[in-house]
A = this chain, B = another copy of it.
Amino acid sequence: MAPTALDRLVDQAAAGGVRAAGRLISAIEDDAPVRRELAARLAPVTGRAHVVGLTGAPGVGKSSTVAGLVGLFREAGRRVGVLALDPSSPFTGGALLGDRVRMQRFATDDKVFIRSMSSRGALGGLSAAAPQALRVFDLIGCDVVLVETVGVGQSEVDVVDASDTTVVLLAPGMGDGVQAAKAGVLEIADLFCVNKADRDGAQAVVRELRTTVALTSRAPGQWKPPVLTTVAATGEGLPALVEALDRHRAHAEADGTRGRRRVRRARVEVEALVVGTLRARWSRGQTGLDALAAEVAAGRLDPYAAADTVLARS
C-alpha cells in the first residue's frame, strides 16, 4: 500500500468510516510493512474508548451478551466496537445460526464496528495485533469496545487482562467450563456475570462467587467486583451490566487503575513486537536456530545451551 493510500484510509477512518477502518485492521493482521508505517500514524491515538474484555468458556453466552450490550449502547446513542478474539465467536464465522442472526441487525448500523482476529491468523500473534487494532477502534470514535475472548491461552489472557474493565462470564451447569473459568480467570475479573440466571444452579454459582469475592483482601477504596446475573437471550439484567461497566470505568479512572492498565497493555504490545522481530530473524536463518534445534532433537545439545547460542547471535 502506498503511503498516500494509507493516509487516505486513516483520514477516512478518522472521519468515522467503518470500511476504511476494516481495511486498516486487515493491514494490521497481515501486512507487516504497512503495520509498521501505520503504527507511527496511530501512536498519538491514545485511547478514549473504554475497552471491555469479556471472557468465559464456550457456551456461557458471551456472544448473546455482546449482542445485547451492543443493542443497549446503540439505544443510548453510543458508538460501539466489537473485537472478537474467540475462534468460536459468531463474528469469526464459526457459530450457531441463532447468534449470527442476532448480530445481523447491526450489519446496516454504521455506528457499530465489528471485527474478529485469531491468534493463529494475526501476524505476530494477538498480543501484538490486538492493541494496534484497538487504536483503529479509537480512531473511528468508538466510545466502548467489547473484546470477546474464550479465555484459554496465554495471549488471550494477556489481551483481556489489559482491558480497562474485565468481565468474567459464567453460567450454571457448565461443568468443565465453570471450573476452568474459576481456575484461571477469577483473579482478573472486575465484574462477574452469571448468565443463564433463569436456570437451575445459578444462585449456587452466584453465592460461590460472592464468597470468593468476600474472602479476597483489598485495600480501602479498592474496587470490589460485583456479581451480576443476566439472561442474555432475553436481555434481562443487561441494563444493570451496562451500569456496572460505566461505574467501573469511572472508578478505574479516578484511582489510576486505568492508567496502569494502559501501560501494561503497551508493555505487552512492545514485548510482542520485540519477540516478533526476533522470530523473523530466526526464521531467516541468521542465528543457525534450525541446526541447533536438530542437535537438540538428536540429544547432542542441551536446549539451554542452544538458547544461549541463539541469544548471543540475535
Contact = CB atoms under 8 A, between A and B. Distances in A.
Interface string A9-27: 0000000000000000000
A75 interface: no
A183 B93 contact: yes
A118 interface: yes
A267 B279 contact: no
Contact of A302 (B40, B119, B180): B40
Given A57-B58, A293-B264, A311-B274, A304 B176 contact: no
A307 B277 CA distance: 9
Contacts of A289: 267, 270-271
A119, A150, A300, A307: residue with the most chain B Cβ atoms closer than 10 Å: A307
A120 B184 contact: yes
A265 B307 CA distance: 14
Given A302-B40, A311-B277, A179 B94 contact: yes
Contacts of A277: 307, 311
A250 interface: no
A273 B314 CA distance: 13
A119 B180 contact: no
Interface stretch (A153-161, A193-201, A218-226, A229-237): A153-161
Nearest to A153: B153
A273 B304 contact: yes
A278 B272 CA distance: 12
Interface of A: 36, 39-40, 43-46, 57-59, 87-88, 92-96, 118-120, 125-126, 131-132, 150, 152-157, 175-177, 179-180, 182-184, 259, 262-267, 269-271, 273-275, 277-279, 282, 289-290, 292-294, 296-307, 310-311, 314
12 contacts: A43-B301, A43-B303, A46-B298, A88-B177, A93-B183, A95-B175, A95-B179, A118-B183, A120-B184, A154-B154, A262-B297, A266-B296
Given A40-B304, A43-B303, A46-B297, 18 more contacts: A40-B302, A45-B299, A46-B298, A94-B182, A95-B179, A96-B176, A132-B303, A152-B152, A152-B153, A153-B155, A153-B156, A263-B293, A263-B294, A266-B296, A267-B293, A270-B303, A271-B279, A273-B304
A-B residue pairs, 9 tightest by C-beta: A153-B153, A94-B179, A46-B299, A273-B307, A267-B293, A88-B180, A266-B296, A88-B176, A266-B293
